[in-house]
Amino acid sequence: MSQHSFKVDTRLALLLSENYRSPEKALKELVDNAWDAEADEVRITLPGIVSKESIVVEDSGTGMTLAELQSEYLNIARNRRDRSGDFTPSKRRKVKGRKGIGKFSGLMIASAMTLETWARGSRSEFRLDKALLDSHEGLPEMPLEITETASTELAQGTRITLSDLHQNIRFPDETRLKQVLIADYGREDGFNIIINGKPLGVDDLQGEYVEQPLNLNEGEGILRCTVSEQKRKLRKPGISIRIDGKVVGDPCFFGLDQADDIPRKLLDKCFGEIELTGRSNDVTADWGALIEGSKTELDLLECVQPILREQLKSVYGQEMHLAQARLRKKAKERIAKLPENRRDFAELAIKKILDKFYQEPESKLEPIVSVLLDALERSDYRVVLEFINDARHSEVAKFAEALEEFGLVELALVAEQATHRLRFLDYLEEICSKKETLEKHVHRAIEKNLWLFSPEYSLFSSDITLKRQVEEYLGRKYTGDRADKRPDLFLTQNLNGERLLIEFKRPNHSLRFEDYQQATAYRNDFHQNGIDQQINVILIGGKRGNDLSVQNLREPNVKIIIFDDLICAARRQYQWLLEK
């Protein structure tokens, strides 16, 4: 049996260099290498876009001797964690490198990469370019000239020069590079990143930057803070305190995290630092925090909090106001119907909800506001729940009547109402599981509890009164072949000017295509009788029949809903509300 081995094509280096989503991510890989090499400082030089100069990344790390280059750097895909563990030997930094391929990242940007490294009195250098890679079949066969000379130029460090930059990809952007690097290294003491001569700092974060002197009762300080506009979550948000150049404890928000009017998600956009001098006597022995109640702590609370509050509202105040305005507009008519002594409370409660759930989608906020208003409009649930518990052991009709009453009562607290709504869902699930339950029973249980479908709809009319209501609305008779057959529910306009038509079938009924035709025919009759707004149709039953295929359902704005799915979706919504 003859022996064979794998060959490593030189194209592998090019493929590895293309593993990065952007030029900035590729350069970050070189910064990560400097971090792992325990550098105190990394300098990045980016030339102008039209310039033919090179990109230079140099660090003050441990550097490499010729032997280390050969055994470590040129060993592709060798994981240093397997050899040295998860932390660097001296500074105990968490190692960034995992796959041993970051050395090729520069080839994403440039056709040639030159590496110079200094360690223990020697200097080593080699050049890697794409022309050399293209001229050889395998990496092991490719000659690589490494020069080694004695040197006192630097004690230690590494310099990578990327030359002959590619013209077919976007040039690395200084601002974007800063956003990428500050996300990982913005809070790292003892690791300074300098880009085009400027140290990476708080002012490099994309957003509104403030630099303001602090007039303290004793001495002065400087606050530098940016409220970020980027979607990416910041690493260690808040304001750090630096006294005599040394960081004290973790970043904090100076009491704003306890304020009701500033959402926590908004605070997490805040990133900054305070520089003080001569206040070390007010720091704990381990430099883990300011001493509680010290002059420095009290001074900073008094001075910094109003500045941060003003800055946060300057950046996001308009967005917060618009979110409140949209939902307040939806709730305006219902608030106007409340007793006068409850209106101010309703306004304040809605504002508190909007602040607490800042940046949650309106689809989640709207049910919470709706539940709150329900709580203020109605009375106690205790009697109704006792009625339901008694009725569930009797005939279905009485059980359905008890569930109908659920939609007519009140709760004082949103959380309590959500709990009761979850209980109602359990009851509804129970009534739907009974074989003797008819469509009129589920109709009666649900028609006063339309929050099951959406909080934005209100009841217009149902079943027996539908014909009279439509005649009054249109000013003429309701005509058509189905004049005596009416849909189960027809709801007024929602906030988008749409209407909703609901057709119930009993819970043990498998919905068929003829049920679909019946419901859409009702809608067509309404359109023929003068209603020109969009009418959405919901057909609800126990199962989905085989003849309700996607190909057959061609009418627009029609939903086929199964009772189990309706209950499950509503339950998820209110469980989420309770968790929040």
Higher pLDDT, 558 or 40: 40
Mean pLDDT computed over 49-63: 88
DSSP string, 199-248: E--GGGSSEEEEEEEEE-SSSEEEEEEEEE--SSPPSS-EEEEEETTEEE
Domains of the chain by start residue, with CATH: 11-195 (3.30.565.10), 203-316 (3.30.230), 382-579 (3.40.91)
Task: Give the span between the Cα atoms of 300 and 351, in whole angstroms.
Answer: 29
The pLDDT score that the predictor gives to residue 412 is 40
Residues 6+ apart with CB under 8 A from 516: 539, 548, 552, 553, 555, 558, 560
Higher pLDDT, 239 or 469: 239
Question: Is residue 573's pLDDT more than 50?
Answer: yes
- In contact, 372 and 414? CB cutoff 8 Å: yes
The pLDDT score that the predictor gives to residue 62 is 93
Lowest mean pLDDT among 235-239, 279-283, 374-378, 477-481: 477-481
Question: Is residue 495's pLDDT more than 60?
Answer: no
The pLDDT score that the predictor gives to residue 320 is 53
**What tokens appear for 518 in the block?**
């019946």
The pLDDT score that the predictor gives to residue 363 is 66
- In contact, 224 and 200? CB cutoff 8 Å: no
Higher pLDDT, 99 or 510: 510
Residue type (1 letter), 440: K
The pLDDT score that the predictor gives to residue 332 is 77
pLDDT over 90 for what percent of the chain?
Answer: 15
Work out the mean pLDDT of the chain and round it to a whole number: 77
Instruction: Name the band, by pLDDT with cuts 50, 70 and 90, for residue 273.
Output: very high
The pLDDT score that the predictor gives to residue 159 is 95
The pLDDT score that the predictor gives to residue 41 is 95
Instruction: Name the band, by pLDDT with cuts 50, 70 and 90, for residue 196.
Output: very high
List pLDDT tens digits, range 149-169: 998 777 899 999 999 888 777
Angle between helices 340-356 and 362-377 (to 10 degrees): 160
Residue 128, H or E segment: strand 122-129
Angle between helices 362-377 and 295-336 (to 10 degrees): 70
Task: Give the span between the Cα atoms of 287 and 411, in whole angstroms.
Answer: 50
Residues 6+ apart with CB under 8 A from 223: 210, 211, 212, 213, 214, 239, 272, 273, 274, 304, 307
Mean pLDDT computed over 424-438: 88
Task: Give the span between the Cα atoms of 109 and 91, in whole angstroms.
Answer: 31
List Cα–Cα distances, 294 to 13, 218, 251, 255, 272, in angstroms: 58, 12, 18, 15, 22
List Cα–Cα distances, 206 to 2, 228, 540, in angstroms: 61, 6, 50
pTM of the model: 0.54
Q: Indicate the pairing of strand 198-199 with strand 220-228.
A: unpaired
Task: Give the span between the Cα atoms of 52 and 568, in whole angstroms.
Answer: 62
Question: Is residue 525's pLDDT more than 50?
Answer: yes
Mean pLDDT computed over 351-374: 69
The pLDDT score that the predictor gives to residue 5 is 40
Task: Give the span between the Cα atoms of 115 and 147, in whole angstroms.
Answer: 11
Q: Which of 29-33, 107-111, 204-208, 570-574 has the highest mean pLDDT?
A: 29-33
The pLDDT score that the predictor gives to residue 293 is 87
The pLDDT score that the predictor gives to residue 194 is 95
**What tokens appear for 419 in the block?**
């709990």
The pLDDT score that the predictor gives to residue 139 is 58
